[in-house]
Amino acid sequence: MTNSIELTGISKSYGDLTALGKVDITVKRNEILTLLGPSGCGKTTLMRIIAGFEEPTTGRVVIDGKDATKLAPEHRPVNMVFQKYALFPHLDVFDNVAFGLRLKKTPKDVIKREVTRVLELVQLETFKNRWISELSGGQAQRVALARALVNRPAVLLLDEPLAALDLKIRHHMLNEIKRIHEETSTTFVYVTHDQDEAMILSDRVVLLNKGGIEQIGGPEEMYWSPRTLFAAKFFGDTNIVNGTYGQGAVNDGYVELPFGRFAHTAKSDVRTGPVNVSIRPETLILAPALGAPGEGEFLGKVKDTSFIGNRVIYRVAVAGETIDLKCQQLPTPGSHTLTPGTSVSLRCKPESFVVLPA
């Protein structure tokens, strides 16, 4: 598969402030690549460099096989959907979507055909004569998508497009974006600080931190195999426990944690000595304590609980550590919660531990 975007040695500085270090990213054709990270990590700056609104201090931008580093935004095969949509309130839905085509002096019959096509794509064909003020947030978002897609761009850039929507509409729009992507086969580059959006939407995720790339991978790889402490803590919920990694007489590895020693073969970049161990809450199994712990078990005491419909989050005090445990709601209503103060045993899956350098 050919690449849609190639960013090589991209950096951006504003005087003494470095917004982006040297970044190399390849975006495959027709994929959804998400730029994920906290505020100030450089993801919007990187998006604006791709769009042509910012010029990189160093590096090269190649789009669809052509060097676009010095090209103005209007000459790039790229369109952008902004967080605030930037729709024109004095125009109806049809004219908002047609605006870019009219600037290009596109024939009227082509404008009508293309606008009708994209309004059907975003399922707003019956709203073409509505004013923007008459639309819901989700509908306005779809108008912005239609306006960006009507020019048939090779790449669609989406800069936190769902940030202004409430949770239920946001989840609906994520499914809509996936559907539109499948139907158009356009390359999408999506910016967000929301890990759930990244996991639901992405083929691959670029996790950024302080202007550099922390890790690139598919959602499952990012979740189950983080390569750094930052990635483990940012991508999903996890427990970070300080421990020690060691090896036995026949190179059988183990991790020594405050609540026990567990067999574990760490990655090659982890040396013996102090480590951080990432333990996902859903890999721990909790039950009332009935006696001495067995192999792979340890004891604790429930500190507090949070009921979230399909699961209960327990905070359990264990050997001076506090572990958050996610578990599925029990089927009998009212019987799902172990009350604070209850002594419990926790069974773990050491093979799911991620051992990271301290």
Residue-level pLDDT at 334: 61
Whether 269 and 158 map to the same domain: the answer is no
**Which of 229, 259, 288 is where one domain is finished?**
229
Please name the amino acid found at residue 267.
K
Secondary structure letter of residue 75 according to DSSP: G
Supply the pTM of this predicted model. 0.88
What pLDDT does 321 receive?
75
C-beta separation of 327 from 314 below 8 A = yes
Q: Strand ranges (DSSP E) for the chain?
A: 3-14, 17-28, 32-36, 58-63, 66-67, 78-81, 155-159, 187-192, 204-209, 212-217, 239-247, 253-257, 260-263, 273-279, 285-288, 297-307, 311-318, 321-328, 343-347, 354-357
In this predicted structure, what is the pLDDT of residue 58?
A: 95
- Domain end marker among 210, 229, 248: 229
Angle between helices 108-121 and 93-103 (to 10 degrees): 130
Q: Indicate which CATH number applies to the domain containing 244.
A: 2.40.50.140
d(C-alpha 119, C-alpha 110), whole Å: 14
Beta bridge partners, 156, equal: 79, 188
User: 199 and 281 share a domain?
Assistant: no
Angle of CA points 258, 296, 248, to nearest 5°: 70
pLDDT at 35: 95
Q: Give the containing element (helix H, strand E) for 20.
A: strand 17-28
Are residues 246 and 294 located together in one domain of the fold?
Answer: yes
Tokens (6 digits) for 234: 């940012």
> Which residues are registered as beta bridge partners of 173?
none
Cα end-to-end span (Å), the chain: 38
Residue 161: CATH number of its domain = 3.40.50.300
Residues 10 and 317: their CA atoms lie apart, in Å, by: 46
Same domain, 184 and 254: no
Q: What separation in angstroms does the CA of 42 have from each of 53, 85, 305?
A: 14, 21, 36
| Domain count across the chain | 2
Write down which residue in 170, 203, 229 finishes a domain.
229
Same domain, 163 and 29: yes
Nearest to 51 by CA among 119, 100, 5: 5
Residue 187 contacts residue 148 (beta carbons within 8 Å): no
Look up the domain containing 294 and give its range. 237-357
Instruction: Say if residue 9 is in the same domain as residue 149.
Output: yes
Q: What are the φ/ψ torsions at residue 263 (nearest 5 degrees)?
A: -65, 135
| pLDDT tens for the chain, residues 1 to 358 | 467 899 999 999 998 888 999 999 999 999 999 999 998 888 999 999 999 999 999 999 999 889 999 999 988 999 888 877 678 889 899 999 999 888 888 899 999 999 999 999 888 899 899 998 898 888 888 898 899 888 888 999 998 888 877 888 888 888 888 988 988 888 999 999 889 899 999 999 999 999 999 999 999 999 999 999 999 999 888 999 999 999 876 768 889 999 888 988 888 788 889 999 999 988 888 888 887 777 778 888 888 888 877 788 888 998 877 887 776 655 456 666 788 888 988 988 888 999 998 8
Claim to verify: residue 204 and residue 254 sit in the same structural domain:
no
Q: Are residues 196 and 282 in the same domain?
A: no
What pLDDT shows up at residue 62? 95
Q: Are 110 and 221 found together in one domain? A: yes
Same domain, residue pair 198 and 242: no
Alpha helix positions (H), 18-77: 43-51
Based on the fold, state whether residues 221 and 254 are members of the same structural domain. no
Q: What is the predicted pLDDT for the residue at 354?
A: 94
As a whole number of angstroms, the distance between CA 215 and CA 209 comes to 9
Longest dimension (CA), the chain: 80
Judge if 334 and 315 occupy the same domain: yes
State the CB neighbour count (10 A cutoff) for residue 70.
10
